[in-house]
Structure 1
Amino acid sequence: MLRAYSVALAAMFCLAAPNLAFAHITFETATAPAGSTYKAVLRVPHGCAGSPTTSIRVQIPEGVRQAKPMPKAGWTLTVKKHKLAQPYDWYGTKVEEDVSEIDWSGGNLSDAFYDEFVFRAKLPEDEGKIIRFPVIQTCAQGQEKWIEIPANGQDDDSVESPAPGVKLGKKSSQDD
């Protein structure tokens, strides 16, 4: 009887284990052409140990340009900018500062529900590179830091709290 119970318990764990890999914040689309304008849809599947999510803050990595968030009803949207070491031209305008962080706060996303937070940005030209966007998820009680970056050759499951990433594919001729 004890053996049957142990086998049943092990089987339930094995069935549940694959779902644990999807418990982190990810992008809806994990690949995009290098140099393209990317619609980043951050998927938030849960709160913090049962506590509702009250803030999602995403860091925009170096080389990602012109990040523009989508407002979300019931949430306050804050955008932080930083001065660039190397200004760039954006359709005839010299850009000397760019977005470094986007923060949706003041909401109340129950742990029982799923939601998405969206922004657009121009991706770097580095074909084959994975660009990571560290995310801090703050809850009514607690916080999750999705900031770990797997080493080259490792997948997201090799770290406990992976930063969402997008792999840059072959540059599209439409983005020239």
Structure 2
Amino acid sequence: MSSTIRRTLTAGLIGGAILAVAVPAMASAHVSVSPDEMSAGDHGVLTFSFAHGCDNSPTTSLTITMPEGLASVAPTMDSDWAIDIERGDDGLVSAVTYTAVAPVPTDLRGAVSMSVGLDESTPASLTFPVIQTCVEGSTEWAQVAEDGEDPHELDSPAPVVTVGAAEAADASHAGHGDPTDTAAADGEGGTTWEPLPTVLGAAGLVTGLAALVVSVVAVRRRA
């Protein structure tokens, strides 16, 4: 094999190895949210994380825009971030900006969080557009996948939380109401069998019969 062919093959192998490492890194280069599933009417803490900057520039801030359908938003206090809250005309939180006390290097993971509340009318999908600002440049994570489109194929996908139906009430609570509701506890008759009155009644009947027998015997003796 000639030296030229060897050099060509070597260059190809090195290039392939670089692409094998770079492609997964590029695919994972986005702002993610956890958990990414909630139920209507639920409350929970959402964590937005990232592990890169803008073209390898350290991250200085994240601005997260709130979608319609949130009943409440409460950013989590964190000594690594300064927090600025924007509110809409309705008084609800419309956007939250987290500014890093020190820029987050591209080889470290950064994360911010907030408590959110959903109501029964929350839509089936909540999209949180994020603007990631860096020492040099910025990235807007706001793309939303169309029907049938893979969100992982988007260049800058927005974090999305899927909202399921409200959880049904625990069936184990059924029948645990007022203990005096005997109709609910004992079926259609609405009566409860109590052993003590039955025993006392039987004892009284036996005593009465015994007294009757004694009286009959006494009368016959006098006769």
Q: Give TM class, smaller chain.
A: 0.7 to 0.9
What is the letter of the counterpart of residue 146 of structure 1?
W
Structure 1 segment 102-141 matched on structure 2, within 5 A: 102-107=96-101, 108-125=103-120, 129-141=124-136
Aligned sequence identity (%): 26
Deviations 1:115-165 (A, max 9, x none): 210001113546882211000111111101111111123232232101101
Match of 1:60 in 2: 66
1:154 aligns to what SS in structure 2? Answer: coil
1:167 aligns with 2:128: no
1:101 aligns with 2:101: no
- Root-mean-square deviation (Å): 2.3
Q: TM-score, normalised by structure 2?
A: 0.66
Alignment length (residue pairs)? 163
- Write the distance in 1 (CA, Å) between the matches of 2:110 and 2:142: 19
What is the letter of the counterpart of residue 72 of structure 2?
Q
1:9 aligns with 2:1: no
What is the letter of the counterpart of residue 131 of structure 1?
L
- Write the distance in 2 (CA, Å) between the matches of 1:168 and 1:159: 21
Structure 1 segment 71-86 matched on structure 2, within 5 A: 71-84=77-90
Greater RCO structure (CA 8 Å; 6+ sep) = 1
- Write the distance in 1 (CA, Å) between the matches of 2:16 and 2:151: 24
Task: Could you tell me which runs of 5 or more consecutive residues in structure 2 were left unpaired when the two chains were aligned.
Answer: 1-5, 170-223
Q: Which runs of 4+ in 1 moved over 3 A?
A: 124-128
- Write the distance in 1 (CA, Å) between the matches of 2:116 and 2:160: 13
- Write the distance in 1 (CA, Å) between the matches of 2:151 and 2:60: 25
2:29 aligns to what SS in structure 1? Answer: coil
Match of 1:142 in 2: 137
1:173 aligns to what SS in structure 2? Answer: coil
Task: Could you tell me which runs of 5 or more consecutive residues in structure 1 were left unpaired when the two chains were aligned.
Answer: 85-96
Taking a change above 3 Å as real, the CA distance of residues 118 and 64 of structure 1, as seen in their structure-2 partners, is: same
Contact 1:126 1:168 in 2 (8 A): no
Higher helix share: 2
1:83 aligns to what SS in structure 2? Answer: coil
Contact 2:69 2:121 in 1 (8 A): no
Match of 1:155 in 2: 150
Structure ID, larger Rg: 2
Q: TM-score, normalised by structure 1?
A: 0.81
**CA displacement at 1:11 relative to structure 2:** 4.5
What is the letter of the counterpart of residue 115 of structure 1?
G
What is the letter of the counterpart of residue 104 of structure 1?
Y
Contact 1:127 1:170 in 2 (8 A): no
